[in-house]
Structure 1
Amino acid sequence: MIRMGESRLGAVSTGVLAFFCLNPTVIQAQDRPAELARDYRIEAGPLTQSLNQFVMRSGVAMVFPSSLTADRQAPALKGRYTVREGFGKLLHGTGLRAVLQEGNTYSLIALSPPQSVLDRDPDVATLDTVYAIDDLYGRTVDGYIAVTDTTAMKTASSLLETPQTVNVVTKDQIVAQGAHSVTDAVRYTPGVLASFGDSDTRNDVLHSRGFYLKQNLNGSKLPFGAYSAAMLRIEPYGLERIDILKGPASVMYGQNTPGGIVNMTTKQPLNVPMHEIVVGGGNHDRTLGAFDFTGPVDEEGRLSYRLTGLARNSNGRVDDGFDRRIFIAPSLEWKLGDRTRLTVFSHYQRDKTLTDYSALPAIGTLYESPNGRISPTKNLGQPDFDGYERRQAAIGYEFEHVFNDVFTLRQNLQYNKVDVTTQASPGYMLDPTARYLSRVGTRGQARADVLSVDTHVQADFHMGAARHTVLAGIDYMKLDDYYKFASGLYASPLDIQNPDYNVAHPELIPRIDYRQTREQLGFYLQDQIRWNRWVLTLGGRYDQAHSRTLNQLPASVRAKQQESAWTGRVGLAYVFDNGLAPYISYSSSFEPEDGTDFSGAQFKAMKGRQIEAGVKYQPAGQKSFVTLSAFEIRQRNMTTPDPDPLHTGFLVQSGEARVRGLEIEAKAHINKSLNVIASYAYLNSRMIKANADASGRTLQGKSLERVPRHQAALWVEYQPVPALHLAAGLRYQGSNFGDADNTLALPARTLVDASVRYDAEQLSSSLKGMTLQLTASNLFNKEYIGYCLNEIQCFYGQGRTVQASLRYKW
């Protein structure tokens, strides 16, 4: 006979909710008796803690009286198990049983002899449906809310236990908000913004907490050339998720800015079939076609594949503009036995665009002009000369071998390559009437490739009452970066009011011929120590970084630079049973700086450090996650003018910047009809140390450029009926400065987004898997200046973008 435990509400607590789905398809247990097996690594310990880890990784929800699990222990669960098998092993001998209730929630009940149900399997009641959800590394998520992460620790870690802010954008959020770039995808993330404005259709360059974010793909560094010319731009349709690790991250990744890391994870092969085709269109004559196929290759499920592709074409908002892309990404996963897995992934992409990122004078855009306002569609470049073309490719693998219950070996190798050719005709001088613009023709040719390999061993063991997860690793990175630049002046100015493009192209004179090789070798050690509810994270790293540079213009000059650095992270969190987890941490970074001072001594690496304290909250019984953090970041060894009057034009490294801030992000599935994303960031940035130049100009006391003091966003999705999803979003960015001197003030702005989605299955069962969607970004087409490089080159922000799509999934 099965009887419920204590029914009084005060005695009932929620174990854990794991909300994410590997595939939105519902797997019927009676159709697949083996269910969907997953890999688990749960140490022996208190039953409550073990059940929490199991349901978080398997994706089911569990509600139970707290008295049932008190003082009970669970054995270790390591290996590949179905949900039924996992519950069976964890509950074996406890006198408890997991029973599936409505809404994919399990209850935990005590057995009373004699047993009347499932005598052959007393620990699990009949399973009618199983939702396949979070994978072992916490990468695959269904919905908006992630609770696990591998970016911060390089281990599958709970975000509650991670003593640093990590914001996650899932593939479902990318789709729901109609994001067609990584810049679009992170626009509801607190403290993150497009470094040079959001209308750039060429690159995704991002800021966080006042500093640039370096970009990783599947945990490996993407090229980061000295002139930021050779950059990959990752197609968001090919991504599973985007993780933004805030603050210094050198302890895991070596040389890096104090802003943090953007790690983009590509879609992984699944061992259940899933197929999707998307067709769409939008304003500016946009057309799009995409597909995403995955599933097992063999009957045993040892070999799985994924093939994702996309092609799109559109005109631009600016006159004569266009934007085209072709993208293909095959991947393959091979299970070489029960303990070994190899995943090979790759992609190829080609972009060609005449970008909306069109430089216009501040007079007529940011400021009033006697000649009237310059339209955002105005192209003051040279349409038959300007353009941007990129070819990029990546290939790599992830390998994992589990030796035993303690040791696991992993290796991640990746090679990324990009070739870029860009031509532009920006202005450099405006005549006194503010009508005639003198222009310069430019051509940049850039190429970069980066090889990275990261090998580490993870050890999970107990020492006394403490449970340790130790990570020891070595990584190597080699970056080759090439850049050539040429320019020449146009013979006559361009009439802004009545541009005449029938002019001769200028003769381009070579100005830069630059080649650089960077190498980095790093050794790191980390220990995550769990004792009762405490989680202590200790990490340290030693890096050797080398660079060789050849500048061939105006004369051949070679330079070598060598740097070594120790970095680290210390963090402490306390996880309450109700899902509240206060934490505090310290982390550091280093970033090599090219160049020499007056004496010829090479510059030292810039050093960053962050102190962060906050609280994370994953409320029991609810699908939600909240992060609140306060922090201070300082970056030292920044270059500033040499104060010696005999050293005019030289730099010294006595500059220092400071950013203090507060961030909050809340994602909540309030009920089956309502989802909310809310975020806010407050940033106070200052140059606290800087020298004056020969003219007396100094940056000391100035705000850092492109750092708004206030930033907020709200996204609400409502489902009034089962088939219809209505969503609206607000994005606010406060005023900030486009230049280091704080002379170009960019006004605050508030933008509105919207989305409508309809599941066609409600019309007819024959339309099962078909979804219609309409999204709009900047719905009211607000005109605003997103960025100014100087008073001659300002850039409008992204105008209204409307997209309609038909998605069919089976």
Structure 2
Amino acid sequence: MRSVCAMNAHHKKSGPAIRQFAGRLLLGTVLSGVVMAGVVVSIAPAQAQSGALANDARVQFDIPAQNLDRALTAFADQADVKLFFPSEGIANVQAGAVSGRFTREQALQMLLSGSGYSWRVTDDDTITIIGGLGSTDASNGIVLDPVRVEAAREVERADGPVQGYVAKRSLSATKTDTPILETAQSISVVTTEEIEDQGSQTVMQAMRYTPGAFTGQVGASNRYDYVILRGLVDRSIDNIYLDGMKTMSDDSTYSSMQIDPYFVERIDTVKGPASVLYGRSSPGGLVALSSKKPEFEQKGEVELSYGTRNQRGVAFDITGPLTEGDKLAYRLVGKADAADTQFDYAKEERYVIAPSLTANFTDDTSLTLMGYFQRDPEGGTHNGVPAEGTLYPHNGRYLPRDFFDGDPSLEKFDRTQNMIGYEFEHDFDDDLGFKQNFRFLDSDVDIDQIYQTGWDGNSDNLKRAYYGGYESLRAFTVDNQLTGKFATGKVDHTLIGGLDYQHRRSRTNYWYTAVSSINPWQPSYGNPGVTFGTPYALATKTLDQTGIYVQDQLAYENWRLSLGARQDWVETDSLNRLNEKRTGEDRSELTTRAGLLYLFDNGIAPYINYSESFNPNLYADANGDPLAPTKGTQYEAGVKYQPAGRDILLTASVFHIEQENVAIADPVTFVYSPAGTIKSQGLELEARARLTDQFSVTAGYAYTDASYDAPGDAKDGKMPMQVPEHTASLWGKYSIDAGALAGLDVAAGVRYVGETWANETNTQRVPDYTLVDLSFDYDLSRIGVENADMRLNINNLFDKEYVASCNKLANCYLGQERTVLATLRYRF
């Protein structure tokens, strides 16, 4: 966002001190691609035009007809130059429209044509507007330093915060700072403002309005972040990445990590395979989180929240410099919250603290240290209930909405996840840079759970079982990147080469036993009849992955071509400590990717791409042998549109994905079995726009046609469970800036999820559902409380009762009931 302010100066003609917003494009860094640039528009007296703009390449301009001062501000923004102009009289001059690709000099000539103004260029490529009014006071002949009008453009960082709902840059798909418009792949970005406006408490909730993402796999449970992308259910819990690296969860255990969205700047969703840069990953795509990092501007906030189900929380976020000169900065983010859930006796509780420190040793070398320390003493429930009693009645009755099938005396989910890491960057020169990212994870999970296993015949009792234990996980990952920019003739290259390594070791100890049954209409708790005997399973699993990758992004005139390849070596080992049986395998895999895009001058960019994925399995079959790794291929075509100078991004894409060696777990025995190949094809539409200064909107639609390709199997040709064929969403926000309601932001959204299948043979459907969300945010400075605001979020406004999805007829998951959350925030 650009801000404009005016400052008066009354002194001699020597000129005012110019306040510059220092900008530096870190050309060699690969992951962060951090951009900090500035545009300053001010006045300095001048007498004649001289010099020429250096490297005056053509730029896309979209400047409407308006007053000259506003037109020059827009010019400085779009041309990325420093521009000084007098404020006296210039606001009364009308400038014509400039639209199209021109050099900066051509655009400036068009703006100033017939105005009586000219310009000059100084040695530092600064433009000064001269002529017209404003150099002298006619009444006394005193030469004045004119008013300085400063238009500062905050350039979006590819992994940093975004003002509003429309991100324009991303590094998640390419590991380089690349405009989304020029990336030959579908990317959706959920910004911090959208997370806040929608009252999202988990990453999974934050993606409810993202087309192509289904977040209802486990209904109202918030223990993990399940995100099904493009109809591929397999490994939906294991596609979260943090700061460009996998979170290192083990989705074959209970040790799946969860990052609280209050601690992230943005959530980028890359649709389709991304193994070329990231190694093992789902062919449906990945969800890339960007941590909040230190800033060199002192600021902070504190929040208090309270809502339904006794939800209460406090959070704070403080950042700023520790020394002068942008050398050392810190950030400290913390949160504590707790709540009951809609299920009796199930609670949620969380404590997180995340310190970070950035040191700029030189203009070319920096180091950011980061920590994330989280304790979840309570993780709610994760259980499903039978389709008989939810989708259709059992003995004429439906299960109560708040039914808890466990037992309060033996219900625990206690997760600790501690992460420390760093990002190191060094630029050898403007065109060559090195970056290394590192993170270490230490996690422990202690779990006790009793869950239903189906009806006991025709009775009103549900059979139950106990499964629990404790596990520990230690992991680290490191990613080394070297990025170079160069040209071969008229073709510009951004070449990245990398070497990464992942190591993970998990140790699990489980007990399993049948327990007493329960009547859901007359539940009796406190004596589940659990008797612990010998362990059911003791295992130690390790994974080591080494990958070498290379990618070249080529630009020739309006063409953009991306080519990439990666070689992975993966070693897995699984030790059954009960019988000392050891299984494992060594795998290597080459994955490739190619994308082609043409950027029209009017902001339309059609593209095509081909990409591959590879994901080794730590799942074992009934004999304890590891399953074959999954492989995926995707063909995608689409078109993007982003008019110059507007916060609008429209995307349409079609895709076809094939995923081989899919594994499906039995929801009762937890044994995995191969399920053949899944083919998924479809259409996705997304619009993100700030239509006016007061009104912003997001809209999305996805059509997904997924099916099994498993000849001879009953699943052949059937659609996978938990994959809606149609989803759609619409969210709008309007800011009232005048009248009695000035300072109030009103936002509302509607989400539609189409029918899904409840079983593999596609004989039982889960009905579709539509949910409405509402949000209010009021600026309390309007009533005299400065720097504070009050927000009210209402999700599932009409308290609709629905089944979110089913995993076979044994486990259906009830959707989240209406929630209301009020948040009071003070910023300083």
Q: TM-score scaled to structure 2, two decimals?
A: 0.83
2:685 matches 1:661:
no
- The structural deviation recorded for 1:652 is 9.7
What corresponds to 2:825 in structure 1?
A: 807
2:399 matches 1:395:
no
- The structural deviation recorded for 1:114 is 8.7
Q: How many percent identity over aligned positions?
A: 33
Name the CA distance, whole Å, in 1 between partners of 2:253 and 2:217: 12
The answer to whether the 8 A contact 1:656-1:690 is kept is no
Name the CA distance, whole Å, in 1 between partners of 2:406 and 2:359: 51
- The structural deviation recorded for 1:363 is 2.3
What corresponds to 1:713 in structure 2?
A: 729
The answer to whether the 8 A contact 1:450-1:480 is kept is yes
2:294 matches 1:269:
yes
The answer to whether the 8 A contact 2:20-2:38 is kept is no
What corresponds to 1:673 in structure 2?
A: 694
Structure 2 CA distance for partners of 1:127 and 1:574, relative to 1, 3 Å: farther
1:697-756 C-alpha deviation (Å, 9 max, x unpaired): x21111012111000000011123341111110000111123433344211110000000
- The structural deviation recorded for 1:543 is 0.7
Query: In the alignment, which of 200, 205, 226 is matched to residue 179 of structure 1?
Result: 200
- The structural deviation recorded for 1:293 is 0.4
- The structural deviation recorded for 1:444 is 3.5
What corresponds to 1:686 in structure 2?
A: 707
Name the CA distance, whole Å, in 2 between partners of 1:432 and 1:379: 20
The answer to whether the 8 A contact 1:483-1:514 is kept is yes
Name the CA distance, whole Å, in 1 between partners of 2:260 and 2:817: 20
Q: Secondary structure at the match of 1:622?
A: coil
What corresponds to 1:779 in structure 2?
A: 797
Aligned pairs for 1:741-752 within 5 A: 741-752=761-772
Name the CA distance, whole Å, in 2 between partners of 1:196 and 1:599: 28
Name the CA distance, whole Å, in 1 between partners of 2:171 and 2:185: 13
User: Structure 1 counterpart of 2:797, which letter?
Assistant: L
The answer to whether the 8 A contact 1:654-1:690 is kept is no
2:633 matches 1:609:
yes
Query: In the alignment, which of 163, 168, 173 is matched to residue 152 of structure 1?
Result: 173
The answer to whether the 8 A contact 1:426-1:793 is kept is no
User: Structure 1 counterpart of 2:25, which letter?
Assistant: Y
2:659 matches 1:628:
no
- The structural deviation recorded for 1:442 is 1.9
The answer to whether the 8 A contact 2:219-2:813 is kept is no
Q: Secondary structure at the match of 1:175?
A: helix
Name the CA distance, whole Å, in 1 between partners of 2:464 and 2:625: 38
Structure 2 CA distance for partners of 1:307 and 1:598, relative to 1, 3 Å: closer
Structure 2 CA distance for partners of 1:436 and 1:749, relative to 1, 3 Å: same
2:362 matches 1:317:
no
Query: In the alignment, which of 737, 758, 763 is matched to residue 778 of structure 2?
Result: 758
Aligned-residue RMSD, C-alpha:
3.6
- The structural deviation recorded for 1:199 is 1.0
Worse-superposed segment, 112-121 or 683-692: 112-121
Aligned pairs for 1:558-573 within 5 A: 558-573=582-597
- The structural deviation recorded for 1:456 is 1.0
Name the CA distance, whole Å, in 2 between partners of 1:446 and 1:288: 28
Aligned pairs for 1:56-135 within 5 A: 58=37, 73-74=55-56, 109-110=108-109, 123-124=127-128, 128-131=149-152, 133-135=154-156
- The structural deviation recorded for 1:440 is 1.1
2:599 matches 1:575:
yes
What corresponds to 1:377 in structure 2?
A: 402
- The structural deviation recorded for 1:668 is 0.5
The answer to whether the 8 A contact 2:240-2:288 is kept is yes
- The structural deviation recorded for 1:75 is 8.4
- The structural deviation recorded for 1:118 is 9.8
Name the CA distance, whole Å, in 2 between partners of 1:335 and 1:29: 34
- The structural deviation recorded for 1:434 is 4.4
- The structural deviation recorded for 1:97 is 7.0
What corresponds to 2:271 in structure 1?
A: 246
Q: Secondary structure at the match of 2:824?
A: strand
What corresponds to 1:703 in structure 2?
A: 719
1:542-563 C-alpha deviation (Å, 9 max, x unpaired): 111111110123x221012000
Aligned pairs for 1:395-434 within 5 A: 395-434=420-459
1:387-422 C-alpha deviation (Å, 9 max, x unpaired): 211111111111111111221111111112221122
Structure 2 CA distance for partners of 1:535 and 1:543, relative to 1, 3 Å: same
Structure 2 CA distance for partners of 1:442 and 1:612, relative to 1, 3 Å: same
- The structural deviation recorded for 1:654 is 8.8
The answer to whether the 8 A contact 1:137-1:156 is kept is yes
Name the CA distance, whole Å, in 1 between partners of 2:118 and 2:604: 38
Name the CA distance, whole Å, in 2 between partners of 1:419 and 1:598: 27
Aligned pairs for 1:525-604 within 5 A: 525-553=550-578, 555-594=579-618, 604=628
1:126-149 C-alpha deviation (Å, 9 max, x unpaired): 753444633544422111111111
Q: Secondary structure at the match of 2:691?
A: strand
- The structural deviation recorded for 1:310 is 0.6
Structure 2 CA distance for partners of 1:702 and 1:36, relative to 1, 3 Å: same
Name the CA distance, whole Å, in 2 between partners of 1:210 and 1:29: 59
Q: Secondary structure at the match of 2:494?
A: strand
The answer to whether the 8 A contact 2:39-2:77 is kept is no
Worse-superposed segment, 536-545 or 730-739: 730-739
What corresponds to 1:141 in structure 2?
A: 162
- The structural deviation recorded for 1:357 is 4.1
Name the CA distance, whole Å, in 1 between partners of 2:230 and 2:286: 12
**Unaligned runs of at least 5 residues, structure 1:** 1-18, 44-53, 63-69, 77-82, 642-649, 693-697
The answer to whether the 8 A contact 1:27-1:130 is kept is no
Structure 2 CA distance for partners of 1:505 and 1:41, relative to 1, 3 Å: same
2:790 matches 1:791:
no
The answer to whether the 8 A contact 1:278-1:805 is kept is yes
Aligned pairs for 1:460-475 within 5 A: 460-475=485-500
Name the CA distance, whole Å, in 2 between partners of 1:444 and 1:26: 61
- The structural deviation recorded for 1:227 is 2.0
Q: TM-score scaled to structure 1, two decimals?
A: 0.85
Structure 2 CA distance for partners of 1:127 and 1:333, relative to 1, 3 Å: farther
Name the CA distance, whole Å, in 2 between partners of 1:29 and 1:395: 48
Structure 2 CA distance for partners of 1:99 and 1:531, relative to 1, 3 Å: farther
Structure 2 CA distance for partners of 1:313 and 1:294, relative to 1, 3 Å: same
User: Structure 2 counterpart of 1:160, which letter?
Assistant: L
Structure 2 CA distance for partners of 1:59 and 1:724, relative to 1, 3 Å: farther
Name the CA distance, whole Å, in 1 between partners of 2:34 and 2:335: 35
User: Structure 1 counterpart of 2:594, which letter?
Assistant: V
Query: In the alignment, which of 363, 369, 374 is matched to residue 349 of structure 1?
Result: 374
Aligned pairs for 1:278-317 within 5 A: 278-317=303-342
Structure 2 CA distance for partners of 1:253 and 1:506, relative to 1, 3 Å: same
Query: In the alignment, which of 519, 533, 540 is matched to residue 495 of structure 1?
Result: 519
Structure 2 CA distance for partners of 1:481 and 1:493, relative to 1, 3 Å: same
- The structural deviation recorded for 1:769 is 1.6
User: Structure 2 counterpart of 1:723, which letter?
Assistant: G
- The structural deviation recorded for 1:365 is 1.6
Structure 2 CA distance for partners of 1:337 and 1:546, relative to 1, 3 Å: same
The answer to whether the 8 A contact 1:579-1:619 is kept is yes
1:1-34 C-alpha deviation (Å, 9 max, x unpaired): xxxxxxxxxxxxxxxxxx5x8xx99898999954
What corresponds to 1:438 in structure 2?
A: 463
- The structural deviation recorded for 1:329 is 0.5
User: Structure 1 counterpart of 2:647, which letter?
Assistant: K
The answer to whether the 8 A contact 2:442-2:474 is kept is yes
**Unaligned runs of at least 5 residues, structure 2:** 10-15, 42-51, 59-71, 92-96, 99-103, 130-146, 666-670
Structure 2 CA distance for partners of 1:700 and 1:605, relative to 1, 3 Å: same
Name the CA distance, whole Å, in 1 between partners of 2:560 and 2:473: 41
Name the CA distance, whole Å, in 1 between partners of 2:445 and 2:246: 18
